[in-house]
Structure 1
Amino acid sequence: MIWVAATLIAATAQTVRNAAQAGLTREIGTIGATAVRFLFGFPFAVLALLLAAAWWPMPRPDLTVIGWAALGAMAQIAATAFMLLTMRDKGFGVATALMKTEPVTLAVIGAIVLAEPLGPARLGVIALATLGVVLASGATWGRAGWGAVTTGILSGALFGLSSIGFRGALLALSDGGYVIRAITVLAVTLGLQATAMLAWLLLRDRSSLRGIASQWRLSVGAGALGAFASLFWFMGFALTPAANVRTLALVEVVLAQVLSGRVFRQTIRPAQLAGMALILAGVGWLLAVTVR
């Protein structure tokens, strides 16, 4: 049951973090808002690693671990950028729903790359929950902006690839329990991401860097929430296949729609409520087939 609790904590923190990043996008642009979660999350990851070192022996990441982490890190940067683009064009709740087609990607890639076949029951769970995502998105598909729909689905696919990278890194890091391995991979991942984003901003987009500095209070909060959420995602990945974690995480769609209604004043239609009900049914089915 630990992975269930970790996933629910991560999904809640990520929903709040995404809302903060959506606000930052209007102030400092897509690239700047993408960089915030990594630049301001990395110090919190280092602090967590230092505190953990007082309790547990530190694992030693090798090149295999770093390679998997780099795959996850770069895919997550791209996924975050596409997510923020979708939020700008289609709204917060819709963007969250579209990118949550991620479990489909995970089901395919995880089976091929990590040899984690899901079986008929879990595939049924993913199909049911994904149908719920389509309905909960609230998009008017006949006249929707297909560019935004495409970026949302691409964001989900890249988030799926990033989850495979993080799961691979955690499995390759054989020393220590799931908590210290999660903290170690988190620090490595955010270090890679912060370095890549800082280099890009210094070379290509210094105006966004100045914008980040001007919005540092909100950026610190988004970074802290991002690191906190990622730590619990990684704990989940260390304990069960990534597809299980990300399917359960579809409860984030429900949280996002509630937040959209209360904070962003977006209307939730009956079809979206039906979609959220399907998501919750899929999550219940997942728990029934995985938790013994």
Structure 2
Amino acid sequence: MEAWVAITVAAAFLQNLRSALQKQMKALVSTSGATYARFVFAFPFALLYLGGLTSLGGFELPVPNLSFWGFAAIGGAAQIFATALLVSLFSFRNFAVGTAYSKTETVQTALIGIVILSDPLSPAALAGILISLVGVLILSLAKGAFDLKTFLMSWFKKTALIGVASGTFFGISAVSYRAASLSLGGEGVIIQAAFTLACVTVMQTLAMSIYLRLREPGQIMAVIRTWRIALGVGLSGMMASACWFTAMTLQNAAYVRALGQVELVFTFAASYFFFRERPNLTEVSGILLLIGGVLVLLLG
């Protein structure tokens, strides 16, 4: 098994854990507050991780350039918007299907990667991504009848538009993070990813702290009061990001995000066991197609 595959599966699991914790936080704080927890409780761990690599691992800190800061800023801002949109979905539909809408990010990431980084796609990868997309489309219709009108109208619903927008911003952030990490040069993939993660997380925390202080007074203290859940959100989020950043430094971001759709398997498990939400046969069929698409990607 290639390293990026194992790292991506770990990232998907950790991201699902973070999303589950954020759903719990959503009942206690605002959407922005739950998004903020993802960053403010993550940056200390990101700095510790980077410090451990330099002091114990013997790695040297990369020297950032203008290209790095540009891509890091774009990726960081896009991730904030994507996370906020994803958290807001939890209020509209069940945990598993709400997340499925954002998984259109795989196709969007592929297109963005081609435009920005000229990252190519193999025929097998393209086939796998398209099969997975069919799975997402089925999930989007899981609560209704299968007819053309329902299919077309479902993508104009608020949940669908928010999910697709979330996927767009996640796609932009994924490609931007890959570009930022690669711009550092060198052969140290782990330290490149860790350095990018630390810089981005600090910038995101500062930006959201200013925003909440000006636009949503009281939310910062509300997040701090939920520190037990928020600490889990921050730690799992940082670990997930470390894995995502490392995998996307090693491999095409579209491939990483396509494989990362195994998160939906973990999502449905969490939906079933923790939130007592029962998926129907259509939802299960969509998940199986998603898994099939991932297998085509890996076998190719």
TM range (shorter): over 0.9
Shift in Å, 1:204? 1.5
Shift in Å, 1:34? 0.5
Partner residue of 2:45?
44
The alignment status of 1:3 with 2:14, answered yes or no, reads no
Instruction: List runs of 5+ in structure 1 lacking aligned partners.
Output: none
The alignment status of 1:203 with 2:206, answered yes or no, reads no
Residue 228 of structure 1 aligns with an amino acid whose one-letter code is: M
Residue 146 of structure 1 aligns with an amino acid whose one-letter code is: K
Partner residue of 1:225?
236
TM-score normalised by structure 2 residue count: 0.93
Deviations 1:53-77 (A, max 9, x none): 1121111112211111111100000
Instruction: List runs of 5+ in structure 2 lacking aligned partners.
Output: none
Partner of 2:60, secondary structure, is coil
Alpha-carbon distance in 1 for matches of 2:217, 2:204: 17
TM-score normalised by structure 1 residue count: 0.96
Alpha-carbon distance in 1 for matches of 2:143, 2:259: 23
Partner residue of 1:16?
17
The alignment status of 1:140 with 2:151, answered yes or no, reads no
State whether residues 127 and 297 of structure 2, in contact with CA within 8 Å, keep that contact through their aligned partners in structure 1: no
Shift in Å, 1:139? 4.2
Alpha-carbon distance in 1 for matches of 2:36, 2:91: 16
Partner residue of 2:83?
80
State whether residues 193 and 246 of structure 2, in contact with CA within 8 Å, keep that contact through their aligned partners in structure 1: yes
Shift in Å, 1:23? 0.9
Shift in Å, 1:220? 1.0
Residue 125 of structure 2 aligns with an amino acid whose one-letter code is: R
Deviations 1:15-59 (A, max 9, x none): 010000111111001010010011110000011111111121111
Deviates more, 1:48-57 or 1:141-150: 141-150
Shift in Å, 1:119? 3.4
Partner residue of 2:259?
248
Shift in Å, 1:262? 1.2
Partner residue of 1:66?
69
Pairs aligned (count): 289
Alpha-carbon distance in 1 for matches of 2:60, 2:123: 40
Q: Runs in 1 of length 4+ with deviation above 4 angstroms?
A: none
Residue 35 of structure 2 aligns with an amino acid whose one-letter code is: T
Shift in Å, 1:230? 0.1
Alpha-carbon distance in 2 for matches of 1:140, 1:196: 40
State whether residues 59 and 191 of structure 2, in contact with CA within 8 Å, keep that contact through their aligned partners in structure 1: yes
Alpha-carbon distance in 1 for matches of 2:71, 2:258: 22
Residue 7 of structure 2 aligns with an amino acid whose one-letter code is: A
Aligned-residue CA RMSD (Å) = 1.4
Partner of 2:30, secondary structure, is helix
Deviations 1:94-144 (A, max 9, x none): 121110111110111111110012133222111101111222343437486
Partner residue of 2:224?
213
Residue 270 of structure 2 aligns with an amino acid whose one-letter code is: L
Partner residue of 2:59?
56
Partner of 1:89, secondary structure, is coil
Partner residue of 2:104?
101
